[in-house]
């Protein structure tokens, strides 16, 4: 066979040409659809120019969907001026998020208030969030509750969920587990993803209704199928622990990865822990450190501490004790107990900071006061040896006893050592 013809080899490095057949009927159909779409857009634009409010709003939505934010903002504004209630709401959202215009939370709140006064549930809910968070208005939890309730009574799921969340935490209202669960259930019935997730939390923890891990898992899965990232992390934890489902490290890691891809900071942190331990994924300390760093940017306190440990011990990053101490200080200032304890340890032994046992004892005391057994042991050591505090074996023994009661082997050994040195009864 002549290899220079059909099936012959091409000169090395030259790509093959692939011929694709497209049915002419399909091309004509696509052309007709494109022409019709253009005609429809022209007709919509003409109606909008003539003052048709519905056309103005539809045109704004079309521009928004196409990513033409300035045009969308203009037409939302035109429709809002004419009193189109949905356009009034969308214009407020534009001011709030800086869509097609510089962000202006105060103007956003004014616009949302105008739509809320007309009884529009999305505006009531969004304005409630402004009052809850203090965006464009003075923070006012009670006013947020009123607005969420107005929208919730119209069966608007985001408002039902937001109001339930306030009852869940006792913010602006007395804490009420049953009411929180009821509101989450009402929103979940309409398929609202966040409500599905939060109702799952209620079932997992027996909050406001009987504990039911099987039901919790089903709700987390339903929420994740709708793209809710926090639900993916929660479902991953279920697979990690074998709670409501058979334990499966690979499924857990895959769920954490899905959550992380959607920006969930807990998912990033948990996936980092998987890579650090080789749990459900190949062990990769560098990947773990990178994930902790991403989660830290999102404010995850556990990730701040984990990244500090990476720098302290050189896990996946170049060892840097000073950087580790700085991270522990960051977390400690935010109230993270393990960071407080770790920072105390760095001061106690002069790791990344100048040795300062008085400062060490201060941080140990702060963490020990919150029940941390390691901090209780280390503060006991300070009292036993007079590091940064006046020597006090009675105080040391009491701290060791507390730590030992929580399972600290080091504290149990310290108690035995102390009793040999001071064999008299402790009062």
In the block, tokens 């080899």 appear at 9
pLDDT, residue 18, reads: 58
Q: 421 falls in which pLDDT band (50, 70, 90)?
A: confident
Q: 40 falls in which pLDDT band (50, 70, 90)?
A: low
Q: 420 falls in which pLDDT band (50, 70, 90)?
A: confident
pLDDT in tens, 59-75: 999 999 999 999 999 99
What's the mean pLDDT when you consider all of the chain?
92
CA distance 365 to 378: 9
CA distance 214 to 301: 29
In the block, tokens 């040195």 appear at 421
pLDDT in tens, 221-241: 999 999 999 999 999 999 999
Q: Where, residue-wise, is CATH 1.25.40.10 in the chain?
A: 48-154, 321-427
Burial code (b: 16+ CB inside 10 Å, e: under 16) for 306-343 equals bbbbbbbeebbbeeebebbbbbbbbbbeeebbbbbbbb
pLDDT in tens, 290-336: 999 999 999 999 999 999 999 999 999 999 999 999 999 999 999 99
CA distance 318 to 322: 12
CA distance 380 to 252: 39
Answer yes or no: are the C-beta atoms of 401 and 381 closer than 8 Å: no
As a CATH number, domain 48-154 is: 1.25.40.10
CB-CB neighbours of 5 under 10 Å? 7
CA distance 395 to 384: 8
CATH superfamily of 321-427: Tetratricopeptide repeat domain (1.25.40.10)
pTM, to two decimals: 0.85
Q: Say if residue 207 is exposed, middle or buried (CB neighbours under 10 Å; 0-12, 13-18, 19+).
A: middle
Which DSSP letter does residue 244 get?
S
């Amino acid at each position: 066979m002549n290899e220079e013809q059909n099936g012959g080899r091409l000169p090395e490095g030259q790509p093959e040409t692939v011929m694709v057949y497209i049915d002419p009927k399909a091309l004509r159909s696509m052309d007709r659809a494109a022409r019709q779409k253009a005609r429809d857009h022209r007709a919509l634009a003409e109606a909008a120019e003539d003052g048709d409010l519905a056309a103005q709003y539809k045109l704004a939505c079309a521009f928004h969907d196409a990513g033409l934010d300035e045009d969308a903002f203009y037409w939302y504004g035109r429709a809002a001026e004419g009193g189109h209630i949905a356009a009034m709401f969308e214009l407020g959202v534009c001011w709030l998020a800086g869509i097609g215009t510089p962000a202006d939370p105060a103007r956003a709140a004014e616009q949302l208030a105008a739509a809320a006064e007309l009884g529009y549930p999305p505006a009531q809910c969004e304005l409630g969030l402004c009052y809850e968070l203090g965006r464009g208005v003075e923070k006012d939890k009670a006013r947020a509750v009123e607005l969420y309730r107005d929208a919730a009574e119209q069966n608007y799921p985001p408002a039902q969920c937001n109001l339930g969340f306030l009852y869940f935490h006792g913010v602006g209202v007395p804490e009420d587990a049953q009411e929180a669960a009821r509101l989450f259930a009402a929103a979940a019935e309409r398929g609202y993803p966040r409500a599905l997730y939060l109702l799952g939390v209620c079932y997992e923890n027996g909050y406001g209704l009987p504990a039911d891990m099987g039901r919790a898992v089903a709700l987390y899965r339903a929420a994740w199928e709708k793209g809710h990232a926090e639900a993916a992390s929660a479902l991953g934890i279920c697979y990690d622990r074998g709670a409501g489902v058979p334990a499966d490290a690979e499924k857990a890691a895959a769920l954490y990865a899905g959550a992380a891809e959607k920006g969930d900071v807990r998912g990033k942190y948990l996936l980092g822990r998987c890579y650090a331990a080789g749990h459900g994924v190949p062990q990769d300390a560098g990947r773990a450190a990178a994930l902790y760093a991403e989660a830290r940017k999102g404010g995850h306190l556990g990730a701040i501490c984990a990244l500090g440990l990476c720098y302290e011990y050189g896990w996946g990053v170049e060892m840097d004790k000073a950087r580790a101490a700085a991270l522990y200080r960051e977390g400690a200032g935010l109230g993270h107990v393990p960071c407080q304890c770790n920072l105390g340890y760095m001061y106690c032994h002069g790791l990344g900071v100048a040795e300062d046992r008085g400062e060490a004892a201060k941080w140990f005391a702060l963490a020990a006061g919150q029940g941390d057994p390691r901090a209780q042991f280390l503060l006991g050591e300070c009292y036993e040896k007079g590091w940064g505090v006046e020597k006090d074996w009675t105080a040391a023994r009491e701290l060791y006893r507390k730590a030992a009661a929580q399972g600290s082997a080091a504290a149990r050994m310290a108690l035995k050592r102390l009793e040999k040195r001071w064999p008299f009864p402790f009062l």
